[in-house]
Amino acid sequence: MAENGDVSQRLLQAQRMEAIGQLASGMAHDFTNLLTVIAAHVEFLDGAKTREEIQRSLQSMRCAVEQGTGIARALLSFHRRMRPQKVPIDLGHSVDQAARMLHRLLPAAIELKSQIPHPSPWIEADPVQLQHVVLNLAVNSRDAMTHGGVLELRVRDPGNGKAVLEVEDTGPGIPEEVRERVFEPFFTTHQGTGLGLSVVQSIVQDHAGTMELDSRGESGSCFRATFPKVSAPPVEPDSDPAPVATGSGQLILLAEDDSQVRAVMGGTLVSAGYSLCGAADGREALDRFEKQKEEIALVVLDLDLPYRNGVECLAEIRERKPHLPAILVSGNPPEEVEAMQDHRTTLLMKPFPMAELTRLAHSQLNQGKERSRGR
pLDDT digits (tens, 9 = 90+) for 8-17: 456 545 544 5
Q: What is the mean pLDDT of residues 81-88?
A: 71
Q: Which residue, among 224, 203, 227, has the nearest Cα to 215 in the 3D structure? A: 224
Q: Residue 252 contacts by C-beta under 8 Å, 6 or more apart in sequence?
A: 269, 274, 275, 276, 277, 296, 297, 298, 299, 300, 361
Residue 374 lies inside a defined structural domain of this protein: no
pLDDT band at 288 (very low <50, low <70, confident <90, very high): very high
Domain of residue 224: give its range: 19-230
**Beta-bridge partner residues of 55:** none
11 vs 225, more confident:
225
DSSP annotation of 195 reads T
375 vs 84, more confident:
84
373 vs 117, more confident:
117
- Assess whether pLDDT exceeds 70 at residue 6: no
In this structure, what CATH number is given to the domain that contains residue 268? 3.40.50.2300
Residue 13 lies inside a defined structural domain of this protein: no
Residue 159 lies inside a defined structural domain of this protein: yes
CA 50 to chain centre: 31
Residue 246 lies inside a defined structural domain of this protein: no
Residue 12 lies inside a defined structural domain of this protein: no
71 vs 38, more confident:
38
What pLDDT, on the 0 to 100 scale, is given for residue 202?
84
Question: How far, in Å, CA of 251 to CA of 48, rounded?
Answer: 39
What pLDDT, on the 0 to 100 scale, is given for residue 76?
60
Task: Indicate whether 226 and 270 sit together in one domain.
Answer: no
Average pLDDT, the chain: 81
Number of domains within the chain: 2
- Assess whether pLDDT exceeds 80 at residue 91: yes
Question: How far, in Å, CA of 298 to CA of 276, rounded?
Answer: 10
Half-sphere exposure of 62 (CA within 13 A, CB side): 10
Task: Indicate whether 194 and 271 sit together in one domain.
Answer: no
- Assess whether pLDDT exceeds 50 at residue 343: yes
What pLDDT, on the 0 to 100 scale, is given for residue 194?
41
Task: Indicate whether 295 and 355 sit together in one domain.
Answer: yes
Task: Indicate whether 189 and 323 sit together in one domain.
Answer: no
What pLDDT, on the 0 to 100 scale, is given for residue 320?
93
Task: From residue 294, give the alpha-carbon distance in Å to each of 6, 317, 372.
Answer: 60, 12, 14
Task: Indicate whether 158 and 267 sit together in one domain.
Answer: no
Task: Indicate whether 201 and 104 sit together in one domain.
Answer: yes
Question: How far, in Å, CA of 365 to CA of 143, rounded?
Answer: 50
Task: Indicate whether 123 and 266 sit together in one domain.
Answer: no
Task: Indicate whether 24 and 77 sit together in one domain.
Answer: yes
Task: Indicate whether 278 and 197 sit together in one domain.
Answer: no
- Assess whether pLDDT exceeds 50 at residue 362: yes
Task: Indicate whether 266 and 136 sit together in one domain.
Answer: no
74, 203 Cβ separation under 8 angstroms = yes
Note the pTM of the prediction, 2 decimals: 0.57
Residue 128 lies inside a defined structural domain of this protein: yes
pLDDT digits (tens, 9 = 90+) for 12-40: 455 445 545 555 666 666 777 778 888 88
Identify the domain boundary among 160, 195, 230: 230
Identify the domain boundary among 166, 200, 230: 230
Local structure of 302: helix, strand or coil? strand
Task: Indicate whether 217 and 264 sit together in one domain.
Answer: no
Question: How far, in Å, CA of 223 to CA of 96, rounded?
Answer: 17
- Assess whether pLDDT exceeds 90 at residue 81: no
288, 277 Cβ separation under 8 angstroms = yes
In this structure, what CATH number is given to the domain that contains residue 217? 3.30.565.10
Task: Indicate whether 207 and 301 sit together in one domain.
Answer: no
344 vs 180, more confident:
344
Which range has the worst mean pLDDT, 41-50, 58-67, 239-248, 315-324? 239-248
Half-sphere exposure of 271 (CA within 13 A, CB side): 11
Residue 236 lies inside a defined structural domain of this protein: no
